[in-house]
Amino acid sequence: MVPEWLNCPSHLTAQTGVSIGVAICVSDVRSLQLHTGVLYAQDSLPRVLHLAWHEKTEHDRLPHSWMPFWWVRLDLSDDRAIAVAGNCRRVAKRASLPNEVRFGLRYRGGKFGPDGKAELVNGEVGLTCATFVLAVLASSGISLLDLTTWESRTPERKAEDEAWHKHIVSQLKKTRNVTAEHLKAVEDERGCARFRPEEVAAACAAGDEATFAAVQAGAVRIRQVLLPVPPR
């Protein structure tokens, strides 16, 4: 059963005013991989802003041609929602420039500046699709997660994160525009805390600065709805 806070893609067409949320979809069925972005709909023109890959930020109209984005609404006032939508447009404009928004594993609170430029902090070298969402929303004063509560997973789930980190490094090695310096920096981040797409989306329904524990049940429900097999 789909939870009431998880909206299917078709629900976008019925929206009026401004809606802000976190969009989530299946990017790879074989590896059970999910992908996320910031959804904003203003005047019935829904878009999703997402980090598709290293130096590849997308600003897609919805519905997407091949990724059906589900989404979880953020409870914001109209004025604040309009501000977030404007911030998304600034990030999208800036991200179209060369060498913007690299891919990296560690997240410690980076965000985007008033000009839409990524402002990484504390040794961060890039963002994932999930931490890109955190950074975009942080730019509007929205802290989806309490980063200090991110804790170690069960051994099995931790092994999944380690395998994902290894996969990301292997894919970056195959990416033409990744420098040797950046690749080494990402390799050094392996083993850091991972913020999963489904956890970021579930946080929208869990309240401000949601803790690790608070988002786990919602994250499981998202995977159960979107993926063909239940989470392990």
Q: How buried is 84 (Cβ within 10 angstroms: 0-12 exposed, 13-18 middle, 19+ buried)? A: buried
Residue 171 domain flag: yes
Q: CA–CA distance from 177 to each of 37, 55, 100, 118 (Å)?
A: 23, 8, 12, 18
Q: How many residues does the chain have?
A: 232
- pLDDT tens profile 131-156: 999 999 999 999 999 999 997 788 88
Structural domain total, the chain? 1
Question: Model confidence at 84, in pLDDT bands (50, 70, 90)?
Answer: very high
* Distance, C-alpha 216 to centroid of its chain: 16
Phi and psi dihedrals of 89, rounded to 5?
-65, -35
Residue 232 domain flag: no
For the chain, the helix, strand and coil percentages under 3-state DSSP, each to the nearest 5: 35, 20, 40
Residue 231 domain flag: no
What is the domain extent for residue 34?
6-226
> pLDDT higher for 232 or 22?
22
Are 36 and 51 within 8 A, CB to CB?
Answer: no
Residue 67 domain flag: yes
Residue 20 domain flag: yes
Question: Model confidence at 5, in pLDDT bands (50, 70, 90)?
Answer: very high
